[in-house]
Every structure is written in C-alpha cells, then in structure tokens.
Amino acid sequence: MNVSRRNILLGTAAFAATGAATRALAWDGPIADLVDDADGFKLASDAYVYGYPLVTMEMTRRVITNVAKPEGTRAPMGTLIKLREYPDASFRDVTAPNADTLYTTAFFDVGDEPWVVSIPDMKGRYFLLPFLDAWTNVFQVPGARTTGTQAQTLLVTGPKWTGTVPDGMLQLKSPTSMVWMLGRIYCTGTPEDYKEVHALQDQFKLQPLSTWGKEYTPPAGKVDPAIDMKTAVREQVNNLTATEFFTLLADLMKRNPPSKADTPALMRFVRMGLAAGKDFNPKVIESGWDKRLPQLSYDRIMLHFLSRDGDFSRENGWSYTTKAGIYGTNYIQRALITAIGLGANRPQDAVYPTSLKPSVIEDYNGANKYVLRFEKGELPPAKGFWSLTMYDEGMFFVANPINRYSMSMRTNPKLESDGSLTIYIQNESPGAEKEANWLPAPQGKFHLMLRLYWPDENTPSILDGSWIIPPVVKVS
C-alpha cells in the first residue's frame, strides 16, 4: 500500500460529523492526501473501525486500574470499585456517565483462571450487573430483570477454561480474557439511601476461584507513571497514530480473541498486516497514513450516528438505538456506541435517546431557554427508572450551582395541576418556584440524553417505537 498524490476524489461533499471534531473531513469528503491505493486505505479504515472498541477498552482499563489501592473511581485490577456518591462534573473516566445509580465495578482478567463474584441479597432493590468482554459486548446481565434480587454467586470463566463449576455457582462464559463488570445500583441520593446502598456494596465479593472459601485481600496495584491519567480516554485513543493503534490492537487480540463471526473480516485484514494471535507489521502502514487514517476513520464512526440504515430511530430531535450491548458483525455501530457511550447496556436493560441538536440548522446553546414537557400519563415508560441528563459537547457533566446533572422522579420535580411534567432546560435558574424542575445548562453548546432503564415492553414502549418522545422546545 503506497501513497502518492493523485487526483482521486473519494467524494464531493464535506461533512462535519455531529459530535466529531470539525477539523477533520468526513470519509466521503475530498481528501488532501490523495491515495494511490484507495481500496487499501478503505480496508485499513475498516480495520480501525473494527478494532476501535478493543483499543478503547484497553485504554480505559489502563486509566481506571493504574492505582495502588482503590481511590474514588479507580482501583487495581481485580479490585472492586464502590462509588459512594454520584459522579460530578470532574468525572472524565467514561463518556456519558450516569448520575442515577451508584456503580460497583471492576476490571479483571479470566484468561488464566475463573473469578467468583458474590452478590448479596439486594432486598428487592433495582440493580443490574452487566459483564462486558474486551470488545464491549455485554455477554451476561445478572440483575433484577433477569436473575432477581436474591443473593447469587457467579463464576466468570475465560475463553479456554474447561473446569467444573462448583455447586451453587452460576457460570458466566466470557469470550475474552479481559472482563469489565459494570454494576449499577439504583439510589435516590438521600443520605439514608446512600447508607443502605453502601451496606449492600460492602457485601459484594470478587476473587479468583483458587481463593474461594478463604479470606482474600486483593494485592496492591502497580502504578505506571507512563500512563496518561489526565487526558480523556477517547482523546488518548484518537491521538494514537495508525501504527500505534494497530500494534496495540494486534497485541490485545492475542488474549482477547475475535469471535468466529469475525472470520470473514479478519481474512480481509490479513492484507494490511492484522491477524489474530500475531504481531502487527508496522511497515504495512504507509507513513503518510499515520495521522490521516485515524482522523478519517473516527469521522466515519461519528457519521454513522447520522446514517439512515436503520441502526437509529429519530423523532422530534431525538435519536436512539435498540442495537446496543450485543453487536454481532455490525462493527460501525459497535464503534459508535464505544465512542459516545462506552458501557452501554442491552436494550432490554436500557435505551438512551440522545438529542444533540434541536434542529438540523442549530445547536443547543445555554444562551437560549428550552422546555421538555411530558403530558399526563406520558412519562417515559420504564420498569426501572428514567432520567434526563445534561452533557457538554464532549458528553461529560456540566458544572452548575445546584450540582444537578440529571432530572428524574428521584429529584422530586413538581407536576402541573393537570398531571403533566415540564422540565426547564437553561443556564440560569427559572426562579425559586420552578427550580425543582430546572436542568441546568452550560453557557455554550450542550447535548441531552434520556435514559430508560428496564424499558416497559408493553405498549406504549420505546422498544417497538409505540412511545413517542416529545420535542425539546426553545422558548422566547
């Protein structure tokens, strides 16, 4: 694959992907660095899209586990992270964080031996404990919806394990060595409820199978000073050169094998030096592609949010998908969810309608005032809970004077006399009498996300499109 300047035009229209940096051109825009091997460039871009989730998971794991002992949102490998309060505007470990549940999470490796996860009696409280493999697929989801809230003991096994499952344990088979347990426990946020959830979190156990039945204390972690602990993970991934990206991807694939369904794709990628179980040959990537390939490939990922191929539903300024958590060979969808909502659940557990713009010709901006109104009986239909969350352009929380990052029934908004609910979305307080219904916005651009946990499957339902999300309306 050699690069030279030829008059090859890969398209005529230049788009700036919604949510993507405007500095880069869309895939089907004109490329300044024209290529000899356009097919080869596209193939390498396909491989980048394919591997984006695995590389992002690894970079996330590095940042979250690069501590000697549990500290806030971080803990060493194989050590439980117990978030004791909702994240605030300083949280940067994961894009589109949740401000409705307390996380109980951990990264651990089951490549050498299984790990045991012990869940206490949750006493009827809503929770879910999704397990993600290294490719971001949610391979199992114990919790209130699936296994109930009674005490449970889980055995998480790796791709090559063939042992016997001990009595009383439920086996969860991970396709990869890397596992991310991303547990969420519903909490109202009051001091009393915090105390109850903390007591439940402290009863969770995580340890290797070889230590089960014994007193176990996780070993201290080793801090790697070379790991960037300040830059957001997504930026770190996007800043990798093509050579760095594929070198890391090939190394990760050795312990986190692709699925059998990926075989046709991998047969194509062999041409550009990417093969499961083997090192990447950096000489395959032309130096002229090192920066351009990641930029254009990331724009391809972000442009998928605007595609019309059926992966997203759109109505009243909202976009959402019921294709998350399990992706099969839909690699562009998997990469997009990784970029905008790493750790997303299966649709049966949660759906995340997102509104990036009130219309195609303008952005949300704190200089304006908006309202979102749910008529009586038309609140989001969810058996778990629902919430409306405010994010900045980078999909992180927005600092505000009342420390409110989401609006839901747990924040005790006031209903109108007719039973409807109006949410005021603006930068300044709407006044003391309306502040209970205020979702603070930044002074500049922002995005909105509506979460429905355990969406109701009965009509009206967001799962079949029979429940329609009302529009966010700008007011004078």
Tokens of 50: 């394919």
Q: Do 146 and 50 share a structural domain? A: no
pLDDT value at residue 36 = 56
CATH number for the domain harbouring residue 94 = 2.60.40.1610
Taking residues 431-437, what's their average pLDDT? 97
Q: Do 446 and 353 share a structural domain? A: yes
Residue at 116 is within a domain: yes
pLDDT value at residue 2 = 34
Give the domain-ending residue among 242, 275, 306. 306
Closest CA to 52 of 262, 278, 292, 336: 336
Structural domain range at position 82: 69-211
Q: Tokens 């004077």 belong to which residue?
A: 401
Q: Do 376 and 251 share a structural domain? A: no
Q: Do 418 and 470 share a structural domain? A: yes
> How many C-beta atoms surround the C-beta of residue 283 within 10 A?
9
Taking residues 212-237, what's their average pLDDT? 95
Mean pLDDT, the chain, integer: 90
Residue at 220 is within a domain: no
Alpha carbons 46 and 242: distance in angstroms, whole number: 12
- What is the C-alpha R_g of the chain? 23
Higher pLDDT, 13 or 117: 117
Tokens of 184: 């969420």
Q: For residue 372, list its beta bridge partners.
A: 423, 472
Q: Do 330 and 456 share a structural domain? A: yes
Q: Do 90 and 23 share a structural domain? A: no
Q: Do 207 and 334 share a structural domain? A: no
For the cut 80, the answer to whether the pLDDT of residue 444 exceeds it is yes
Alpha carbons 364 and 427: distance in angstroms, whole number: 11
Residue at 224 is within a domain: no
Please write down the HEC assignment for all residues of 420-471: CEEEEEECCCCCHHHHHHEEECCCCECEEEEEEEEECCCCCCCCCCCCCCCC
Query: Which are the contacts of 24, defined by CB distance < 8 A and separation ≥ 6?
Result: 16, 295, 296, 298, 299
Give the domain-ending residue among 255, 286, 306. 306
Number of domains in the chain: 3
pLDDT value at residue 6 = 25
Give the domain-ending residue among 274, 306, 338. 306
pLDDT value at residue 22 = 36
Tokens of 52: 């984006």
DSSP E strands in 271-362: the ranges are: 313-315, 318-320, 350-351, 354-355
Residues 365-404: tens digit of each pLDDT: 999 999 999 999 999 999 999 999 999 998 899 999 999 9
Taking residues 162-177, what's their average pLDDT? 97
Taking residues 344-370, what's their average pLDDT? 94
pTM over 0.95? The answer is: no
Q: Do 380 and 354 share a structural domain? A: yes
pLDDT value at residue 19 = 37
> How many C-beta atoms surround the C-beta of residue 5 within 10 A?
11
